């Protein structure tokens, strides 16, 4: 995952795109030496971050202070590469390539630790109640695990590595994307494919609208929004250059907007109905990194007038929507 982030930064340096020169309204330093991973709560008021220097920390972004510090392993070399909130922000999951932990946000306590002996983990997502976990694996399999009953259901459609996964808030549907140029929407009760979404390249990011109406899937050339009622493409993001790699995405404003983040420091706001770009910004780079660079790990909408970003620079930043 660390190598992937470095690779994405290298790619993004040759990309150009629409950008806005405005500065953030506010900055908060989450880690002085930068971040390995980060995620934002749906309202942009909390962040979960992982860094080499501080481990895993839950931040209250409104008060600018730490809430919890978590340790998943006693092995100092077992880095947390993924941190994600559940859809309702009540739980969180942290993951290394071969294990994961589930946490309660109410009291900061662990809800359990789990190992993955079969294949290395590439991505992970959590249902709203923290009960179901969706795992994407290097061996091309994705599986949903009920952490209370132990029930495991594997999805066997992918023929190559699964790069990205997302789970509906109620745990009923799973979205997966992989190196086989495909993304799938699955029914987690039957294990059957609901829709298949075809791409011309490796699918690197896939996200569901919390309402269950829309899905976003992206490779480096095509970023599509799909209508889950019909399985047809609703719109395609209209970026004005040949390549774009996305590292974060979130539907917002009742599915009218899509927020994306990229390894090119790009933070963008899109109109879902037609894929048009509404506004974009460049997040701040880490001051010690040359040339200036930052991977956007987390994005969120706050109060319909501000966006929040968290990036590899170690900064959370708040931006005004004009």
Burial of residue 172 (number of CB atoms within 10 Å: 0-12, 13-18, 19+): middle
Report, as an integer, the average pLDDT of 197-224: 97
User: What mean pLDDT comes out for the span 240-251?
Assistant: 92
Which is more confident, 11 or 136? 136
- Position 19 pLDDT exceeds 90: no
Report the pLDDT value the prediction gives residue 205, as an integer from 0 to 100.
Answer: 98
Question: Regarding predicted confidence, which is higher, 209 or 9?
Answer: 209
pLDDT band (50, 70, 90) for residue 10: very low
pLDDT at res. 76: 64
Taking a C-beta distance cutoff of 8 angstroms, is the pair 193, 157 a contact?
A: yes
- Output the DSSP codes for 239-306: -SSS----SEEEEETTTTEEEEE-TBSEEEEEETTT--EEEEEEPPPPTT-SS--B-EEEEEEETTTE
At 20, the pLDDT band (50, 70, 90 cuts) reads low
What's the pLDDT score for residue 118? 86
Mean pLDDT calculated for residue range 286-312: 94
> Could you tell me how far CA 65 lies from the centroid of its own chain?
23
The domain segmentation of the chain, as residue ranges, is 2-320
- Which pLDDT band, with edges at 50, 70 and 90, does 13 fall under? very low
State whether residue 237 is helix, strand or coil.
coil
Question: In angstroms, rounded to a whole number, what is the distance separating the alpha carbons of residues 73 and 68?
Answer: 16
pLDDT at 220 over 90: yes
What is the torsion angle, in degrees rounded to the nearest 10, for the CA atoms of residue 244, residue 31, residue 50 and residue 83? -60
What is d(CA 246, CA 320) in angstroms, rounded to the nearest whole number?
21
pLDDT range class, residue 246, cuts 50, 70, 90? very high
Distance, in Å, from the CA atom of 126 to the CA atom of 93, rounded to the nearest integer, reads 7
Calpha distance 166→99 (Å, rounded):
18
CB of 11 closer than 8 Å to CB of 91:
no
pLDDT of residue 299: 98
Tens-digit pLDDT profile for residues 85-133: 999 999 999 999 999 999 999 999 999 999 988 899 999 999 999 999 9
Average pLDDT, the chain: 92
Dist CA 239 CA 17 (whole Å): 7
Average pLDDT, stretch 57-75?
91
Kindly tell me if the per-residue pLDDT of 2 is higher than 50.
no
108: its two tokens: 């900061």
CB 238 within 8 A of CB 275: yes
Per-residue pLDDT at 240: 80
Name residue 69's beta-bridge partners. 57
Confidence of residue 6 (pLDDT cuts 50, 70, 90): very low
Distance between the two ends of the chain, CA-based, in angstroms?
35
pLDDT value at 1 more than 50:
no
How confident is the model over 30-45, as pLDDT tens digits?
999 999 999 999 999 9
Phi, psi for 282 (deg, rounded to 5): -120, 120
For residue 5, what pLDDT is reported? 46
Q: Who has greater pLDDT, 117 or 150?
A: 150
Domain 2-320 superfamily per CATH: YVTN repeat-like/Quinoprotein amine dehydrogenase (2.130.10.10)
pLDDT of amino acid 182: 98
Which of 124, 142, 141, 122 is closest to 133 using CA atoms? Answer: 124
């Amino acid at each position: 995952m660390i190598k992937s982030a470095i690779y994405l930064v290298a790619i993004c340096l040759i990309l150009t795109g629409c950008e806005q020169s405005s500065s953030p309204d506010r900055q908060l330093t989450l880690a002085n030496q930068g971040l390995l991973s980060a995620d934002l709560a749906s309202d942009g008021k909390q962040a979960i971050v992982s860094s080499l220097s501080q481990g895993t920390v839950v931040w209250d972004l409104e008060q600018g202070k730490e809430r919890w510090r978590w340790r998943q392993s006693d092995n100092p070399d077992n880095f947390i590469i993924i941190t994600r909130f559940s859809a309702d922000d009540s739980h969180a999951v942290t993951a290394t390539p071969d294990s994961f932990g589930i946490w309660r946000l109410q009291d900061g306590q662990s809800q359990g630790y789990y190992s993955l002996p079969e294949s290395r983990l590439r991505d992970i997502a959590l249902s709203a109640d923290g009960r179901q976990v969706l795992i994407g694996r290097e061996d091309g399999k994705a599986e949903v695990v009920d952490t209370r009953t132990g029930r495991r259901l594997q999805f066997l459609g992918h023929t190559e590595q699964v790069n990205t996964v997302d789970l509906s808030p109620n745990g009923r549907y799973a979205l997966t994307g992989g190196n086989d140029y495909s993304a799938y929407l699955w029914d987690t009760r039957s294990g059957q494919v609901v829709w298949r979404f075809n791409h011309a390249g490796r699918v690197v990011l896939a996200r569901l609208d919390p309402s269950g109406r829309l899905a976003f899937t992206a490779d480096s050339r095509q970023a599509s929004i799909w209508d889950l009622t019909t399985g047809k493409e609703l719109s395609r993001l209209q970026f004005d250059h040949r390549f774009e790699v996305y590292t974060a995405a979130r539907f917002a404003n009742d599915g009218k907007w899509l927020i994306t983040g990229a390894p090119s420091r790009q933070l963008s706001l899109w109109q879902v109905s037609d894929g048009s770009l509404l506004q974009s910004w460049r997040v701040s780079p880490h001051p010690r990194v040359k040339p200036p660079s930052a991977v956007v790990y987390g994005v969120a909408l706050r109060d319909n007038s501000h966006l929040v970003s968290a990036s590899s620079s170690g900064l959370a930043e708040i931006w005004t929507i004009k």
